[in-house]
Amino acid sequence: MTHPFADLRSDTLTKPTPAMRQAMAEAAVGDDVYGEDPTVNALERRVADLLGFEAGLFAATGSLANQLGLRVLVKPGEELVTDHNAHVVRAELGAAAVFSGITTRTWPSTNGRVDADAVAASITPNAGPYLVSTTAIALENTHNFGGGTIQPQDQVRAVQQLGREHGLGLHLDGARLWNAAVASGVPIGDLSAGFDTVSVCLSKGLGAPIGSVLVGDAERIAAARIWRKRYGGGMRQVGILAAAGLHALDHHVDRLADDHARARRLGAALGLDPASIDTNIVMLDVPDAASLVVAAADGGVLCSAIGPRRVRLITHLDIDDDAVDRAIKVLLSAL
Ligand X SMILES: *Cc1c(COP(=O)(O)O)cnc(C)c1O
Closest CB to ligand X among residues 209, 239: 209
| Residue 66 beta carbon to ligand X: minimum distance, rounded to whole angstroms | 6
Binding status of residue 112 toward ligand X by CB under 6 A: no
For the beta sheet containing 212-216, the strands, ordered from the edge strand earlier in sequence to the opposite edge, are 55-59, 212-216, 197-201, 169-174, 134-140, 79-83, 103-107
175 part of the interface to ligand X, by CB under 6 A: yes
Nearer to ligand X, 212 or 280 (CB): 212
Residues between 294 and 323 with contacts to ligand X, criterion CB under 6 A: none
Single residue of 39, 82, 85, 144 touching ligand X by CB under 6 A: 144
Question: Do residues 272 and 282 lie in contact, with contact meaning Cβ atoms separated by under 8 Å?
Answer: yes
Q: What's the closest the beta carbon of residue 26 comes to ligand X, in angstroms?
A: 25
Q: Does 197 bind ligand X (CB under 6 A)?
A: no
Closest CB to ligand X: residue number:
62
Measured from the CB of residue 219, what is the shortest distance to ligand X in angstroms?
24
Cβ proximity to ligand X, 122 vs 144, nearer residue: 144
Sign of torsion, CA 220 226 232 235?
A: positive
Closest CA to 176 of 275, 88, 281: 281
Q: How far is the CB of 230 from ligand X (least distance, A)?
A: 18
User: Do 39 and 29 touch, CB atoms closer than 8 A?
Assistant: yes
| Amino acid making up residue 255 | R
Alpha carbon of 6 to those of 3, 179, 267: distances in Å? 9, 20, 15
Binding characters for ligand X, 66-105, by CB under 6 A (x = yes):
x--------------------x------------------
Report how far residue 333's alpha carbon sits from residue 171's, in angstroms, rounded to the nearest whole number.
42
Q: Which residues pair with 212 in a beta bridge?
A: 59, 201
Q: For the segment 252-291, give every residue that binds ligand X (CB under 6 A).
A: none
Nearer Cβ to ligand X, position 39 or 149? 149
192 is an interface residue for ligand X by CB under 6 A: no
Given candidates 39, 61, 280, 315, which one binds ligand X under the rule CB under 6 A? 61
Shortest Å distance, C-beta 125 to ligand X: 25
* Rounded Cα–Cα distance for residues 333 and 296 (Å): 9
Pick between residue 246 and residue 314 the one whose CB is nearest to ligand X.
Answer: 314
Min dist CB 86 to ligand X, Å, is 8
> Cα(105)–Cα(99) distance, rounded to whole angstroms?
17
Nearer to ligand X, 139 or 289 (CB): 139
Q: Does the footprint of ligand X cover residue 150 (CB under 6 A)?
A: no
User: Which DSSP string do the residues of 11-55 spell out, in sequence order?
Assistant: TT-PPPPHHHHHHHHT-----GGGT--HHHHHHHHHHHHHHT-SE
Determine the 3-state secondary structure of 183 from DSSP.
helix
Q: What are the residues binding ligand X (CB under 6 A)?
A: 61-63, 66, 87, 140, 144, 173, 175, 201, 203-204, 212
